[in-house]
Structure 1
Amino acid sequence: MDIPLPAPGRVSYRTLLIPRARRHLVVAGAVSRLPLAGAGVAIVLAASGATHSYGMAGTASALYVIAASVMAPLHARSMDRTGQRRVLLLAGSIQATAFVCLTLFCRTSGWWQIPGILMAAAAAGAAQVDIGSAVRARWAHAAPDRVSQQTAFLLESVVDELMFILVPMAITAVTTAHSWAAPAVVLLGPAVGWLLLAGQTGTAPPPLAKGDSGPSRPRAVSLAGSRALVAAFVGIGTYLGSIEILLVALADADGEPRWAGYALAAWACGSASAALFAGPYLGRLAPERVFVPAMAWMTGSGLLLPLAGSRLPLVGACFLAGIGAAPSLSSGFSLLGRRTAGAAEGMSWASSGMGAGTTIGAFSGGWLADRTDSAAAFWLCVGFGGLALTLAWRATSKGGSATP
């Protein structure tokens, strides 16, 4: 079962970041997120510019995502057992090399170009470490009390949103001059960010003792409460994935594709604003008291999407829904961190679960978008939101929080 930790008073971001090592952790974590926030876009832009085929570019991006989804939990388990430094240095070297090769293949021509791009994309994905989970595992070690830890997770949500806004913009700006140079932006992640993280031994959680990593130790996701939380993250992914694809598809069908960008940016701004301004206050609450209400706000706001009627109200609805995103995700990670003793593997499974859900939601939304251009398609998102809320409630109920 969850072990309650002593809860100090409210912890502000300023107080949280007084130790220099924690400030360095935030900076290194932000730079390390470059591949997470922009690798897919960079691969598509570079590969399509080199081969003039979006189909091939999509294949390369899919290989990256699939390889990353398969390998990220394995990297996380290795970090728990051997320490983060070794994994970050090895995986960072491989990924940086893969992005360099991808850039070179995009600059050349010949029969080897397409196979080379595909292999480089797959190698970069296989080396991808779930940096969000690695950084949160460091926070779980550096700030073990509940209030500081949950406030730190909310701060990480702000960093996430900012990187997902800024990195695609930087990649697009570079691509206007040279499309093949897009991977050079995300290359800084493993080449600089991961190296900085590897050097921060003061915030790194110690490896598990040998006796804790043997066959008798239960897997992080074998605990009932952890499985329920991972299922909730899958539900969140279906909700977010369906919204994203439908926003893009319906805006494009309306002849105004830029409005999808405005709506997605409004969502990110709502999420970042909630984490930035309310984070220290939400950090005082137990994550069980934040997770379901925040999910209810986020998914309930989704009811406004099919009712918006025009573009500006749709952007407003996305901003309102985004307000619940950071609190729900950060409290979910905080719960999972407590149930898996801060292990990176457990939090990595949550990220992988959300990625799988995003794929399901995007596929379902894309299938529906091909058959209708009506705003009524957003009722699919409402349905996924109801599923996500139900799974979140089950994850924090007595049955979902119990462990064998």
Structure 2
Amino acid sequence: MSSTHVVRPSYAAVLRIPHARRTFVAALIGRLSYGIAPLSVMLAVTRASGSYAVAGVVMALFSATSVFLSPARAALIDRYGPRRALVPMVAAHTGLLGLLAVLLWRPGAASPLVIAAVSGLAGACTPPLGPTMRAVWGRLAPDRAMMQRAYSLDAVAEELLFVSGPLLVGLLVGFAPPAAGIVVGAALMVVGTAGFVSSPAVRAVPAGGREPGPDAAGRRVLRGLGRPVIAAAAVGLALGVADLLVVAFAEGHGHGAGGAAWVLAALSAGSAVGGLLNGAVEWRASAGARLSVQAAGLGLALCGAGLAQGLGTLAVAVAVAGVFVSPLITTAYLIADETAAPEARVQAGAWVNTAVNAGITGGAAAAGVLVGWLPAGVCFAVTGALMLVTAVAVARGAAREKGYGTSRTPRMTR
């Protein structure tokens, strides 16, 4: 009697997929710009204008146009294909970043209105490299287990980019004006995107073509995205709240910004570990069930953070919370890819990405209000309770879909 030995796909196996390593590295080089350019713009505007208010308005415009127009830019990727859509986006985005660097190189060289206008336009043209790369993973991965590992690897790498980007800016401004960071961010975007679109894996992605109509296209993209988008918005809100609450907690206990940095580092480390573990496990539960459990785990961990009496216990609590962050976002992307129409995968991923970023923005604003009225511990508990409510809503949504028998035909092995 013979037996079949099943080899579990590993992260190394993901990178051994033909063209995967080249495509992924190129996308990461371009995406590193996301961790460098925005911070450099904020520092350069502050230095050039001498006003935090002006810097805040400029960054609000840059972030708002970048985040909320992301699904529209992703629709162009789906319709025309990555090569035809990304190249003009990158040209416009990096050209505007270059112009912004010129305007900000010397203090007082340009009016705040001009700076704000150019910044808003630059954000509007931000290329959606993350959602596009995840759509390419969906084509490269031969099965769901391999794609789960690919998505987890992508999420962890993105987490590290957003940690290392600000560190690189900190090193750069030690010997160059902040506007130089804008130039570096633009250069990384050009180099990374050039390598990305020239990859055989990206060249093979077909254009989706024209949809039957705007209403039909919208329904096809949004159908089934309720659960992942709600969960992504909730985890984004939790992250936005946690960032400010950690700072408030550290200052309230006499530790200052240095102590807060260590706690936030613990959050990122927990997220990276959770992402790697999530991709390494052969899950038997469905993605919908995992999404609910992950949201509940994050909620309980945040409630635990509300009980912390010192910076050490808070660091442990937020590290545990971080373990659920990356898996939750990864699972949301998996569900979005599974439920989206084949020609709308980039848009589906962009909606999840937009929900996370919008949640972070809203969470930071909400925390700014709450922290003035309530102790940090209570704010953590309220945020945790909101995540628990989200877990219940996601679970009900999954049960409703299962009851209706709505499931997508499994993807065939390529």
Q: TM-score over 0.5 for the alignment? A: yes
The secondary structure found in structure 2 opposite 1:24 is helix
Could you say which residue in structure 2 is the equivalent of 1:41? 39
What residue number does 1:150 align with?
A: 148
Amino acid of the structure 1 residue aligned with 2:121: A
CA separation in 2, counterparts of 1:304 and 1:375?
9
**Structure 1 Cα separation of the partners of residues 173 and 252 of structure 2:** 25
- Whether the 8 Å contact between 1:220 and 1:345 is mirrored in structure 2 is no
Report deviation, 1:156. Answer: 0.5
- Counterpart secondary structure, 1:202: helix
Match 1:22 to one of 12, 20, 23:
20
* Aligned counterparts, 1:152-191, within 5 A: 152-177=150-175, 178-191=177-190
Contact 1:130–1:348 (8 Å) recurs in 2: yes
Q: Distance in 2 between matches of 1:22 and 1:31?
A: 14
1:246 match? 245
Residues 1:162 and 1:221: Cα distance change in structure 2 (over 3 Å): farther
1:56 to 30, 51, 54: 54
Q: Which amino acid aligns with 1:384?
A: L
Structure 1 gaps of 5+ residues are: 1-7
Deviation at 1:278, TM superposition (A): 4.4
8 Å contact kept, 2:243–2:264: yes
The equivalent of 1:329 in structure 2 is 329
Task: Give distance in 1, aligned partners of 2:306 and 2:28.
Answer: 35
Report the counterpart of residue 378 of structure 1 in structure 2: 380
CA distance in 2: counterparts of 1:64 and 1:123, whole angstroms:
8
Larger deviation, residues 215-224 vs 244-253: 215-224
Question: Are the structure 2 counterparts of residues 395 and 49 from structure 1 closer, same or farther at C-alpha, using a change threshold of 3 Å?
Answer: farther
Deviations 1:175-207 (A, max 9, x none): 222223221332233211122211124245321
Please name the residue that 1:259 is paired with. 259
Q: What displacement does 1:88 show?
A: 1.3
Task: Give the 3 Å change call, closer, same or farther, for CA 400–233 of structure 1 in structure 2.
Answer: farther
3-state SS of paired residue (1:161)? helix
8 Å contact from structure 1 (residues 35, 189) kept in 2: yes
Q: Could you say if the C-alpha distance between residues 84 and 35 of structure 1 is closer, same or farther in structure 2, counting changes exceeding 3 Å?
A: same
Give the 5 Å matches for 1:103-122: 103-110=101-108, 112-122=110-120
Match of residue 412 from structure 2: none
TM-score (ref. length: structure 1): 0.90
Deviation of 1:17 after TM superposition, in Å, equals: 1.3
| Deviating more after overlay: 100-109 vs 279-288 | 279-288
Alignment of 1:164-243 (within 5 A): 164-177=162-175, 178-203=177-202, 205-210=205-210, 212=211, 214=213, 217-219=216-218, 223-243=222-242
Q: Larger deviation: 308-317 or 101-110?
A: 101-110
Shift in Å, 1:129: 2.3
**Greater mean alpha carbon deviation, residues 73-82 or residues 286-295:** 286-295
Amino acid in structure 2 at the alignment position of 1:233: A
**Gaps spanning 5+ residues in structure 2: where?**
1-5, 408-414
What residue is the counterpart of 1:3 in the other structure?
A: none
- Residues 317-366 of structure 1: CA deviation (Å, up to 9, x unaligned): 11111111111111111011010045100110111122222222111111
What is the root-mean-square deviation in Å for CA atoms of aligned residues?
2.4
2:222–2:348 Cα contact (<8 Å) kept:
no
Q: 1:286 to 1:17 in 2, by over 3 A?
A: farther
Alpha carbons 1:103, 1:181 under 8 Å: kept: yes
Deviation of 1:71 after TM superposition, in Å, equals 2.1
Rounded to whole Å, the distance in 2 between the matches of 1:205 and 1:232 is 29
Please tell me the residue identity of whatever aligns with 1:376: V
Aligned partners of 1:124 and 1:218: how far apart in 2? 27
Counterpart Cα distance in 1 of 2:64 and 2:83: 24
Distance 2:197 2:242 in 1: 36
* TM-score, reference length from structure 2: 0.88
1:277-301 CA-partner distances (Å, limit 9, x unpaired): 4412246764234322222222211
Identity of aligned residues (%): 25
Q: Identify if the C-alpha distance between structure 1 residues 30 and 400 changes in structure 2 by more than 3 Å, giving closer, same or farther.
A: farther
Give the corresponding residue for 1:269: 269
Q: Distance in 2 between matches of 1:41 and 1:401?
A: 47
* Alpha-carbon distance, 1:20 to partner: 4.5
Paired with 1:216 and 1:384, the residues of 2 have a C-alpha distance of 32
Is the Cα–Cα contact under 8 Å of residues 80 and 209 in structure 2 kept in the other structure?
A: no
Mean Cα deviation higher: 267-276 or 215-224: 215-224
1:357 aligned partner: 359
Q: What is the Cα deviation at residue 311 of structure 1?
A: 0.3
